[in-house]
Amino acid sequence: MGTSTKPIVVISGVNFIEGGPLSVMMDVVGRFISTFNKDFTLLLIVNNKHLFSDFFASDVLFYEYPRAKKSWLFRLWFEYVKCYFLSKKIKPYLWLSLHDISPNIKSTRRAVYCHNSIAFYKMPFLGS
């Protein structure tokens, strides 16, 4: 991770490659860079770092995991095994997961952005 003493913030969006979710991630990354980049080291965990070429000059670190979108089995392994060991290695201050899954990590703080809020919708009982 280098010799930086700044706290590390991870933004993870390995399954974002197009559309609205990718736009949300781009907006989050852009806002982070314009607001916090001098105080934190930003690490993006992405499917394809070339989708984020606008941020190459912004001192952003990238970890690419293109196979995370190819199968649910690999995705679950990535979220619950790989991310755990990665988080132990990099010791992030904040891990922001932008893809509806809360990974198994070690971090001072963690947050999950749910693009699809259906899991929190209170369904009325049928026939009542």
- Alpha-carbon radius of gyration of the chain: 16
Strand partners, 63: 45
Beta strands 41-46 and 109-112 are unpaired
**Is the per-residue pLDDT at 81 higher than 80?**
yes
Give me 56's structure tokens: 């190459």
pLDDT tens profile 92-110: 999 999 877 788 999 999 9
CB 54 within 8 Å of CB 24: no
**Domains in the chain: boundaries:** 8-112
pLDDT tens profile 10-31: 999 998 888 888 999 999 999 9
